[in-house]
Amino acid sequence: MAKQPWVDQEECISCGLCIDNVPGVFRYADNGKAECYDPNGASEEEIESNAIDACPVSCIHWKE
């Protein structure tokens, strides 16, 4: 995978939407914010539509 999802934890509101939608990629970090723990846990399309586009505060981005 050329692109990897990245969560801006300063912007994350811990809503859990990305974790619920794509649990193979996202989880809660020790600080209670979302983090990407396995960028290969879902397809780029699934990450894009179910996490990046769905995030209410747009804190998930692609990092190349």
Contact 12, 59 (CB under 8 A): yes
* Reported pTM: 0.93
pLDDT in tens, 11-50: 999 999 999 999 999 999 999 999 999 999 999 999 999 9
H, E, C per residue of the chain: CCCEEEECCCCCCCCCHHHHHCCCCEEECCCCCEEECCCCCCCHHHHHHHHHCCCCCCCEEEEC
How many domains is the chain built from? Answer: 1
Domain containing 59 — which CATH number? 3.30.70.20
Radius of gyration of the chain (CA): 10
- Structural domain for 28, as ranges: 4-63
